């Protein structure tokens, strides 16, 4: 069912969409009839991602090379996007780097890379699209944050700090871009099953049960849950919502970690 949110024919640019969750989001939005722009530093994977979307769904999808650490590269990329699409209705700042804690030998590099790609990259992209969005009468910027912006997880300190910065940048941008007709919101996903983890989730019963138990809804999320939140916040259904952070986590962050551990342990004892 296409165009549930009235976005068919609109254009979207998604950073970090050559693979993993960004690619899944791109495919999901294409199914709604959006024209897809994939921005990534990985040329081969980016081209393959765009081609796969075109082949599978028959929609428009294009790859745009960019180094998010460079404001000059971002500027060139945004110019190419507008040359291709004419207008840009939605920017999704999704890019990140591997977030697992690095070893001591590359800890500082990982810190710098995390802040540059996740936070600075989102800032450069947002800054670059504002003049054109204002000229075309408005637009939407969505920054992908994380529950790790508020809670300490097993991810790296650079990832946590960059995502926390995304939250505050979202509020700042919403205040100053609002008069230009641009809404800015963030989305904080919880545990989202990516396609490349699906086989383990389906085969490893213990791992699956642990993650499902962490959620009051007793299930884990997938890319469609995140994509639907993006579609809602990009549509006129949310026309009066800006500067907010929508948590998409199945209620996982409603319980403190110790309580979750105790609750899960109790279920094991009850079954024994």
Residues tagged active-site: 159
- Chain position carrying tokens 């920054």: 143
Dihedral (Cα; 42, 48, 50, 56), 10-degree rounding: -150
Pairwise CA distance, residues 73 & 39, whole Å: 11
**Contact (Cβ atoms closer than 8 angstroms) between residue 182 and residue 212:** no
């Amino acid at each position: 069912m296409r165009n549930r949110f009235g976005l068919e024919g609109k254009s979207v640019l998604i950073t970090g969409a050559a693979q993993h969750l960004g690619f899944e989001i791109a495919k999901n939005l294409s199914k709604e009839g959006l024209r897809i722009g994939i921005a990534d530093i990985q040329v081969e994977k980016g081209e393959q991602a765009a081609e796969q979307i075109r082949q599978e769904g028959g929609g428009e999808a294009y790859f745009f090379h960019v180094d998010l650490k460079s404001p000059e590269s971002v500027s060139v990329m945004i110019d190419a996007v507008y040359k291709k699409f004419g207008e840009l209705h939605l920017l999704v700042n999704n890019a990140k780097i591997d977030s697992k804690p690095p070893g001591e030998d590359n800890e500082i590099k990982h810190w710098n890379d995390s802040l540059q790609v996740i936070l600075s990259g989102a800032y450069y992209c947002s800054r670059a699209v504002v003049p054109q969005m204002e000229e075309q009468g408005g637009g939407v910027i969505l920054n992908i944050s994380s529950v790790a912006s508020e809670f300490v997880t097993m991810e790296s300190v650079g990832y946590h700090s960059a995502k926390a910065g995304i939250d505050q940048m979202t509020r700042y941008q919403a205040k100053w871009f609002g008069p230009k007709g641009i809404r800015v919101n963030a989305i904080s996903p919880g545990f989202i099953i990516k396609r490349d983890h699906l086989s383990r989730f389906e085969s490893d019963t213990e791992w699956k049960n642990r993650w499902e138990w962490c959620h009051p809804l007793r299930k884990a999320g997938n890319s469609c849950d995140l994509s639907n939140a993006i579609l809602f916040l990009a549509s006129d259904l949310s026309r009066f919502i800006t500067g907010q952070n929508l948590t998409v986590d199945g209620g996982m962050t409603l319980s403190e970690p110790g309580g979750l551990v105790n609750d899960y342990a109790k279920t094991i004892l009850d079954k024994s």
